[in-house]
Amino acid sequence: MAEFTAEVFQNEYLADGATDAHAVVSVTCRGAGKAGEVGDAAEIIIVDTSGSMDMPPTKIAAARRAARVAVDEIVDGTWFAVISGHSVAQMVYPPHPGMAKMTSVTRADAQQAVERLRSGGATAIGAWIQAATELFAQVSAAQRHAILLTDGKIEGEPESALPQALEAARGRFQCDCRGIGQDWVVEELREIATALMGTVDIVAKPEDLEADFESMMRESMNRGVADARLRIWTPQGSEVLFVRQVAPTVEDLTARGVQTAPLVREFPTGAWSDESRDYHVAVRVPVAGVGNERLAARVELVVDDEVRAKSLVKAVWSTDTHLTTRIDPAVAHYTGQVKLADTIQKGLAAKAAGDDRTATVLLGEAAKIAHDSGNENTTRLLEKVVDVVDADTGTVRLKQHVEKTDEMALDTRSTKTTRIRREP
């Protein structure tokens, strides 16, 4: 059985009259096992086959190969389906609306069917999501996951189609989203990935798609814990300011919280493999006198209503400024990483709007945070968009010629954080 541990990083000391307790809770899962071991698993692969996938034709060819390796990675016994997405969602495998159990026979049949994928039509992603929701509803699976590939922006369906489809799909399955090429819209895929608790990334070159699908599906098959939730108790009279996943990516979970008892809220975190995730929890508690010790939050990792790990966020009021002014390094680090993602996204938006001045300031600020926090991946991505003159002061110049895919990569991956460098 999977084993969870939770560790809390915080400075529990609050100055007299202070009310806000911040903590980073690091949750680690070991021994997760394989998807489908506890309750069935179900996988749907959604491949964009709109007309643009033929321009150039290397895209549709790469999509076929990628779908094929993804099918390869799905372990026997898993429910699965492949959907061809264009103006409508069309079954590729099984041939009629439904899901098949993976066996050596169905795997071979599915791979043959994938070879017949042809492009033509619009990009009605809302309809594809809706179709996936309906297919998943036909099987009884503990764990449902989809991969969605597109190369373009949504067209050929009303604007309300996607929000409606996401509302119906929320909590029913997780969806990892990939954009191929440079004609898709980061915002659209991010909206889907956020709503459906999946990742979003760019695959700039068609030849990289196969490896990406392989690792994505393998990762999904390694998620042996189907559904875990963060259960957070906070004291009477308190207010949860926010609950954020801060590693490996930034994801604001605050709005996902569901009140399950008078002082308790639960936040879905989806399926888990052997991995670590960090959460930044901020709680505003009623002030207590100097010398008092209060619990600001009980943070529990819950699977099937069973508490599997627990950590305590505390508040101790003190007049000792040596104690109260220190900011916990983990809290400081991730506060910086969240700001980094936000600054990059705002900077790129300013650049897109033609406001180079604001873009330069914001991307300069981002370069400084990325440099100071040792986020080398983000630094590399930034350097493709700006020339860093002085990272220490955050002085940058916008590059004259920037590949659009580099900008999209920076935008998409801005939420990827580095982990705090812990003392050995």
Task: In angstroms, give the least distance from the CB of 11 to another protein.
Answer: 17
Nearest to 165 by CA among 96, 93, 95, 89: 89
d(CA 29, CA 26): 10
Within 66-105, the residues that bind another protein by CB under 8 A are none
What residue spans of 201-320 are helical by DSSP H?
209-221
Task: In angstroms, give the least distance from the CB of 233 to another protein.
Answer: 8
What residue spans of 184-230 are helical by DSSP H?
186-195, 209-221
Nearer to another protein, 316 or 338 (CB): 316
Contact segment (CB under 8 A) with another protein among 231-239, 247-255, 355-363, 385-393 equals 231-239
Within 383-412, the residues that bind another protein by CB under 8 A are none
Within 28-57, the residues that bind another protein by CB under 8 A are none
Q: Is 263 in the site for another protein (CB under 8 A)?
A: yes
Among 236, 255, 305, 400, binds another protein (CB under 8 A): 236
Which stretch of DSSP H or E encloses residue 350? Answer: helix 329-352
Task: In angstroms, give the least distance from the CB of 292 to another protein.
Answer: 7
Nearer to another protein, 168 or 312 (CB): 312
Nearer to another protein, 212 or 300 (CB): 300
Nearer to another protein, 20 or 293 (CB): 293
Q: Cis omega before residue 329 (within 30°)?
A: no
Which stretch of DSSP H or E encloses residue 271? Answer: strand 264-272
Handedness of CA 193, 3, 29, 102 (dihedral sign): negative
Binding flags for another protein, 342-361, as an x/- string (CB under 8 A): --------------------
Task: In angstroms, give the least distance from the CB of 308 to another protein.
Answer: 15
Within 277-336, the residues that bind another protein by CB under 8 A are 285-286, 288, 291-296, 298, 310, 312, 315
Structure-derived torsion over alpha carbons of residues 92, 93, 99, 101, reported in degrees to the nearest 10: -160
d(CA 187, CA 411): 9
In Å, how far are 183, 366, 396, 408, 412 from 388, measured between CA atoms? 27, 11, 4, 19, 20
Nearer to another protein, 193 or 296 (CB): 296
Burial of 105 (0-12, 13-18, 19+ CB in 10 A): exposed
Task: In angstroms, give the least distance from the CB of 236 to another protein.
Answer: 5
Task: In angstroms, give the least distance from the CB of 295 to another protein.
Answer: 4
Nearer to another protein, 228 or 297 (CB): 297
Cβ atoms 369, 339 nearer than 8 A: yes
Residue with token string 């490896």: 211
Task: In angstroms, give the least distance from the CB of 312 to another protein.
Answer: 6
Binding flags for another protein, 115-144, as an x/- string (CB under 8 A): ------------------------------
Task: In angstroms, give the least distance from the CB of 235 to another protein.
Answer: 4
Exposure of 182 in the CB half-sphere (CA atoms within 13 A):
10
Handedness of CA 33, 47, 195, 169 (dihedral sign): negative
Nearer to another protein, 44 or 315 (CB): 315
Nearer to another protein, 251 or 266 (CB): 266
Contact segment (CB under 8 A) with another protein among 86-94, 146-154, 232-240, 398-406 equals 232-240
Cβ atoms 126, 165 nearer than 8 A: yes
Task: In angstroms, give the least distance from the CB of 323 to another protein.
Answer: 16
Q: What's the token pair of residue 193?
A: 């990935």
Nearer to another protein, 187 or 293 (CB): 293
DSSP 91-118: EEESSSSS-EE--HHHHHHHHHHHHT--
List all residues 6 or more positions away from 151 whose beta carbon is below 8 Å from its beta carbon: 48, 50, 52, 53, 59, 179, 180, 181, 183, 184
Nearer to another protein, 185 or 287 (CB): 287
Point out which residues pair with 384 in neighbouring strands.
none
Task: In angstroms, give the least distance from the CB of 239 to another protein.
Answer: 13
Task: In angstroms, give the least distance from the CB of 311 to another protein.
Answer: 10
Nearer to another protein, 263 or 349 (CB): 263
Binding site for another protein (CB under 8 A): 233-238, 263, 285-286, 288, 291-296, 298, 310, 312, 315
